[in-house]
Structure 1
Amino acid sequence: MDSVSQLALGASVAVAVAGRRVGIGRAACWGAVAGTLPDLDVFIDQGDPILDMVLHRAETHALFWLALASLPLALLVARLHGQAALWRRWWAALALALLTHPLLDAMTVYGTQLALPFSNHPYGLGSVFIIDPAYTLPLLLGLALALARRGPGGLRANAIGLALGCAYLGWSVLAQQMVTTRAQAALAAQGIAAERLLVTPTAFNTLLWRVVAIEGEHFHEGYASLLDAGPGLAFDRFPRRLDLGAAVAGLDGVQRIQAFSKGFHKFSEEDGLLRITDLRMGQEPRYVFSFAVAERGAAGLHPLQPTRKLGRRPDLERGLPWLGRRLLGEPLPPPR
């Protein structure tokens, strides 16, 4: 999730666990710090754009390492504030602030390596978008009231904000399952034998969902709103160009994206550059993570070291009006 959400979650959790004992202001401050710490890995340059992608949300997001780091951090903070006797309370607050960060990240589609060093599997449920005001605003409001009121009333407001945020995450999972069931029925009715199915929300909401179905050499993309008048779901079909992928199958970057995207990827060639694209983040034809891995010359293809990131952000001028209207159930084709 975005930095504001993580900061708010860390602060809210710390206030809920330790605010009454160590002080609401102190708990909020250090909870915000702990909720932000795992994302400092974005400042690590791995020397290659693909490595920067797949190694983000790795060791700094691993539950094992964060649990180990929580104790020395708690002892340091308790001593700093002259509250050594309350180290256990600080430990509980900061451990939860640290651990809830990757757990929240795992609700998005990106991929969070929670189980390191035992497994590098990128967990990504994909039931919430990376930025969703409906999740973040209750946390911020409850936290603001806690800091303004202090005392039992403030703690109660913070707890309500935290509960609403958790309830929203639960709703997102339920909504995802509803759309998944609808998508599976639509695919079957249209004779599309999907090998893999991705259902993830569009930007800033959990009402309009993007559906991607992998079928061999092609993938199908469709959109389903919970406010649609009927259960039908239209799909557009696009090539994956696996023939291009065969020529670069042995490259480390290609193998990493194939694993990290869990098979939701395509290949393309433009201006002599052969690229691999993660289909999970973006919409056809604009994707955030697209990488040139080889260049075609007179002697054929040769690998690029380092690879080049060629991803494109969505066209907000066209995309946001479409998003608002499609979210409300208007049957509009997506902007291409």
Structure 2
Amino acid sequence: MDPITHGLIGATTTQSFANKQNIRQISLVGFFGALLPDLDVFINSAADPLLTVEFHRQFSHSLFFTPVGALIATVIIWWLVRKKLSFKETYFYSLLAYGSACLSDAATSYGVQLLWPFTDERFSWNLISIFDPLFSLILILAVGFAFYKKKSLFAWIGLGWIAIYLAFGFSQQKRVEDLAHEIASRQGHIIEYLTVKPTMANEILWSIRYTQGDNLYTYGVRLLPFSKPKLYEGEVVALLNWKQKYAPFKGTTMYQDIQRFSKLSDGILILHPDYDYVIGDGRYSLLPTTAAPLWGIEIDVTKSNSHVPFGTYRNLTKEVRQDFMDMLLGK
């Protein structure tokens, strides 16, 4: 999720345990503690661009690292709240906030290594977009009123809103999954890989991506409660058989980097339609009906002993924005 929403979730979680005398200090601890896991974005290497991608939402988001992360947050923030909170109390609230950030990121897409170091599986529940203004707005009001009025009742309202919104996302997701299986069945497809997730900033327009054989299929779905889904047909693109294509380079740094990127992308790799020699993550694009990847790696076979560059390809043109709004509004 975006940093502000992380902070709001952390704040409303800790505020629910507060009293009138210390709720403002606890709000600060909760807001700050929930920001700390995402400092992993500063782990980078100019020589190895994929290092940042690998470490994002890795150990810093693990439930087993949470006690350590909370301790770091406590050491940093306690000097600001020590007049109202003991070190032990500050640690308790930091623990709640830090844990809330790990779980809220798991509710989005891309994935979080919640059980690292025991497994490197990325948990991704795909219930909510990484940025959702409606979700965040209600939390701003709940946290703000709790802070201003010094009443934890508003924090409990905020927690209720989180539960209701994520439950709505879960309901939407299940409806879209059922539709995806219907679509595949009508075409005689057996789904080998399926991901459904909300598009940016809403719970109405969803993305369907599934694989059958050597192809990736994309669809958009507009879904309102108690109404018939509106389906937008997308593209069919070939999955990249990178092991075969780059077999002559096996053992090189370039080959190993493609292998690393494939693991990060659940094996859903495609060639970018707009950029030569770019291998992209086929799970994400600006529009649910297109397959143009949002990020990828650039392959240069003349530099097979060097790490591959990683880049983002968010070409948010006026036409793309209009297409997105048309689908969101059901046009």
What amino acid does structure 2 have at the position aligned with 1:259?
K
Please say which of residues 217-226 and 283-292 is displaced more in the overlay.
Answer: 283-292
Q: Are 1:308 and 2:309 counterparts?
A: yes
Residue 36 of structure 2 contacts residue 73 of structure 2 at CA under 8 Å; is this kept in 1? no
Q: Are 1:190 and 2:191 counterparts?
A: no
> Quick one: which of 253, 256, 262 aligns to 2:260?
256
Taking a change above 3 Å as real, the CA distance of residues 306 and 146 of structure 1, as seen in their structure-2 partners, is same
What amino acid does structure 1 have at the position aligned with 2:268?
F
Alpha-carbon offset, residue 265 of structure 1: 2.0
Cα distance per residue 1:124-167 (max 9 Å; x no partner): 122211101122111111111112212x3xx2122212210221
Q: Residues of 2 paired with 1:54 and 1:72: CA distance?
A: 22
* Structure 2 partner of 1:224: 221
Taking a change above 3 Å as real, the CA distance of residues 96 and 321 of structure 1, as seen in their structure-2 partners, is same
Q: Residues of 2 paired with 1:178 and 1:314: CA distance?
A: 30
Cα distance per residue 1:193-251 (max 9 Å; x no partner): 22101101111011111111112221111111114755656342112232x54233642
Please say which of residues 117-126 and 81-90 is displaced more in the overlay.
Answer: 81-90
What amino acid does structure 1 have at the position aligned with 2:192?
E
Q: Residues of 2 paired with 1:97 and 1:296: CA distance?
A: 46
More strand by share: 1
Please say which of residues 258-267 and 211-220 is displaced more in the overlay.
Answer: 258-267
* Structure 2 partner of 1:39: 38
What amino acid does structure 2 have at the position aligned with 1:180?
E
Q: Residues of 2 paired with 1:269 and 1:316: CA distance?
A: 16
* Structure 1 partner of 2:199: 202
Q: Are 1:214 and 2:218 counterparts?
A: no
Residue 218 of structure 2 contacts residue 291 of structure 2 at CA under 8 Å; is this kept in 1? no
SS in 2 for 1:144: helix
Aligned pairs, number? 319
Q: Residues of 2 paired with 1:65 and 1:54: CA distance?
A: 17
Q: Residues of 1 paired with 2:231 and 2:32: CA distance?
A: 46
TM normalised by structure 2 equals 0.86
Listed as ranges, the matches of 1:106-255 within 5 Å are 106-150=106-150, 152=151, 155-227=152-224, 229=228, 234-242=233-241, 244-248=242-246, 250=250, 251-255=255-259
Cα distance per residue 1:260-304 (max 9 Å; x no partner): 222222245987x53321122214353222111x3245xxxx426
Which runs of no fewer than 5 residues in structure 1 stay unpaired?
Answer: 331-336
Q: Residues of 2 paired with 1:84 and 1:199: CA distance?
A: 46
Alpha-carbon offset, residue 119 of structure 1: 1.3
Residue 226 of structure 1 contacts residue 329 of structure 1 at CA under 8 Å; is this kept in 2? no
Across the aligned residues of Structure 1 and Structure 2, the Cα RMSD in angstroms comes to: 2.6
Residue 286 of structure 1 contacts residue 311 of structure 1 at CA under 8 Å; is this kept in 2? no
Taking a change above 3 Å as real, the CA distance of residues 159 and 215 of structure 1, as seen in their structure-2 partners, is same
Please say which of residues 54-63 and 315-324 is displaced more in the overlay.
Answer: 315-324
Residue 22 of structure 1 contacts residue 86 of structure 1 at CA under 8 Å; is this kept in 2? no
Residue 205 of structure 2 contacts residue 223 of structure 2 at CA under 8 Å; is this kept in 1? yes
* Structure 2 partner of 1:287: 293
Alpha-carbon offset, residue 97 of structure 1: 0.2
Taking a change above 3 Å as real, the CA distance of residues 162 and 230 of structure 1, as seen in their structure-2 partners, is closer
Identical columns (%): 24
Q: Residues of 1 paired with 2:177 and 2:202: CA distance?
A: 16
Alpha-carbon offset, residue 23 of structure 1: 1.1
Q: Are 1:320 and 2:317 counterparts?
A: no
Taking a change above 3 Å as real, the CA distance of residues 157 and 191 of structure 1, as seen in their structure-2 partners, is same
Taking a change above 3 Å as real, the CA distance of residues 100 and 187 of structure 1, as seen in their structure-2 partners, is same
What amino acid does structure 2 have at the position aligned with 1:246?
Q
Residue 199 of structure 1 contacts residue 212 of structure 1 at CA under 8 Å; is this kept in 2? yes
Q: Residues of 2 paired with 1:279 and 1:295: CA distance?
A: 20
Please say which of residues 308-317 and 216-225 is displaced more in the overlay.
Answer: 308-317
Q: Residues of 2 paired with 1:30 and 1:5: CA distance?
A: 15
Residue 11 of structure 1 contacts residue 29 of structure 1 at CA under 8 Å; is this kept in 2? yes
* Structure 2 partner of 1:65: 65
Q: Residues of 2 paired with 1:219 and 1:46: CA distance?
A: 32
